[in-house]
Homo-oligomer: A and B are copies of this chain.
């Protein structure tokens, strides 16, 4: 290439860590032309730092370059937390200023973590895998072997994931929805059953696909023959917004939990808009036996009330760490005659009413009370009590256990 001296001078520049796209491209060209100087760089440049390093034995090492820091800590999902405060562990500095921390062998799962340096929370600059949860963005990694395998992309046939807009006359707006169609859907002539999968407070149509690993879980369960091929429709349950933060005309605003009209009956009441859209536009089993609805937390609440308010619409209902009882201000007609509609849903019949809750969940008592109510009216349900609380760790497990029970 031309200007070789200038290129090499730049290449050796210690500021390489700030390099931009065009500089990367130059390197690539050097590599292609055989001028591979890459190996001559000092170790411990960011390009050389691997973090996290997940080992076969399930230990994980984190690395963070901060030569001038006096202390760097790491906080992760797997650490015991005390009254809402996640645990923190000190990292260890080497002579070059690289801080490391290695875990004990971790159970297979998807984990989040962050660093703390100079009292500031920091993401891991060497890990590009980040997932947004409401207003925070967290690095993640997967320890394979068990659940982690189910949450990973494997060498199997993959479904498609589409972000699409549909008309919701009940909300007088176009709304965004995330739709998983299983491998083979596009070329098949068969009609598919549909799982409507609802997010919690602060979530949106991106929550289940990103935090919930829905497409990976479905791809894997279907490939293993453990789940029927099905379409999964991940709606936006906040009727005040058209789409997830950044995906609507509201622009790139700061997300918040405090959205209006989230549990006031409007989403439940207008849910047929979604069903109508799916059943008009996809090759689906447009009947009760081909419909499931499930959700976490607020989405569990929505699933409970939608399936009760439309008491002959779903053969499968899943309540994951669900909120149960509407608050006093929720005066929608959706919440009138709660007991009566539940009894009607029971009389109409259904194939599965699945309730999952963690022992440490702050909604545990509410769910226990609700189970007593169901017992009182003789409404059958499958109950799954897990360890832990109100976490995505549990919701991924619940989804993985719920999906194989559908459409059999």
* Whole-angstrom CA separation of A134 from B122 in the bound complex: 20
Within 8 A of B (CB), among A124-141: 125-130, 132-137, 140-141
Interface size on A, residues (CB 8 A): 107
Verify B160–A84 contact, CB threshold 8 A: no
Within 8 A of B (CB), among A296-334: 297-298, 323, 327-329
| A380 on the B face (CB < 8 A) | no
Verify A86–B20 contact, CB threshold 8 A: yes
Verify A18–B120 contact, CB threshold 8 A: no
| A174 on the B face (CB < 8 A) | yes
Within 8 A of B (CB), among A54-79: 66-69
| A337 on the B face (CB < 8 A) | no
Verify A362–B247 contact, CB threshold 8 A: no
Contacts A153-B247, A164-B160 given: A25-B84 contact, CB under 8 Å?
Answer: no
* Whole-angstrom CA separation of A137 from B123 in the bound complex: 10
* Whole-angstrom CA separation of A249 from B216 in the bound complex: 11
Contacts A32-B329, A252-B141 given: A134-B69 contact, CB under 8 Å?
Answer: no
State the majority secondary structure of interface residues on A.
loop
Verify A160–B163 contact, CB threshold 8 A: yes
Partner among B2, B126, B142, B158 whose Cβ is within 8 Å of the Cβ of A365: B2
Contacts A21-B392, A22-B389, A160-B165 given: A122-B119 contact, CB under 8 Å?
Answer: no
Chain B: minimal CB distance from A145 (Å)? 12
Verify A24–B66 contact, CB threshold 8 A: no
Contacts A32-B329, A120-B122, A164-B160 given: A200-B247 contact, CB under 8 Å?
Answer: no
| A258 on the B face (CB < 8 A) | yes
Within 8 A of B (CB), among A4-57: 10, 13, 15, 18-29, 31-34, 38, 46-47, 50
| A121 on the B face (CB < 8 A) | yes
Which 9 pairs, one residue from A and one from B, show the smallest C-beta to C-beta distance? A22-B390, A162-B162, A160-B164, A158-B165, A28-B201, A24-B257, A129-B252, A32-B327, A155-B249
